[in-house]
Amino acid sequence: METAYRAGRLTLGHFRSGVQVRFKEDDTPVTAADREAEKLIRRRIERAYPGHAILGEEEGEKAAAGASHKWIIDPIDGTKAFIRGVPLYAVLIGLEIEDRIEVGVVYFPALDEMVYAAAGCGCFCNGRRVRVSAVTELSGSAVSFTDSASFERAGKRDAWERLERATAYHPGWTDAYGHALVATGRIEIMLDPFLNPWDGAPFPVLLREAGGYFGDWSGRETIYNDEGLSTSAALLPKVLELLQRKEK
């Protein structure tokens, strides 16, 4: 939590400051804030846990022979929001122990909001325990997303439209913020047709401890299947049925 906080405060020094933007080979943007924040996080982890592996968006993977623990970090999730001055970007840190995410922290620096969880300890937001929404019907649910055009690019437009028709409210509360809103009970569903491991690293344990689910669109808790879904345990079967339904 302290590491996420420090990295987040560092990014605020660049936020709404006209920071220079560069584009990586995959055409995604990166700034000095991304790079500096990741370096800070890596330094602190390496100092405290020199035998652990690290995977980060900007500097790739640092393997450790025989390591059972891997830290997975995204120094700024929502760089497109960050460079536009939108305060919904986040610092993400997840700890994977023997192939299962057991600790997760999401910090929104511009909002000063932190959501965090550890296996068996519950999910919290700024010190207050949180749980997923009690809504049990899709017709009363809010579902969020990052970019509506991404469903078409991923070949998943039909699945998105089925879910859109079945639900009540469809705000584009983007990236990590949407998943955190599900974990804290403020919306019911967040859907990502594209997802890198570092984009989802904290969320399996956050949602699990909050009484919900984070994983792929087939119901498997994972950050490695290129897509993401957050929802409550009560709504999960209904959401999966809509996403997986084959059109006649």
SS3 205: helix
Give pLDDT, residue 247: 59
> What confidence score (pLDDT) does residue 22 get?
87
Structure token digits, residue 166: 């079945």
Report pLDDT digits (tens) over 199-228. Answer: 999 999 999 999 999 999 999 999 999 999
Domains of the chain, start order: 2-117 (3.30.540.10), 138-244 (3.40.190.80)
Cα angle vertex 171, ends 166, 172, to 5°?
120
Buried-state track 181-195, b at ≥16 Cβ within 10 A, e below 16: bbbbbbbbbbbbbeb
Distance between CA 4 and CA 8 in Å, rounded? Answer: 6
| C-alpha angle 101-202-1 in degrees, rounded to nearest 5 | 110
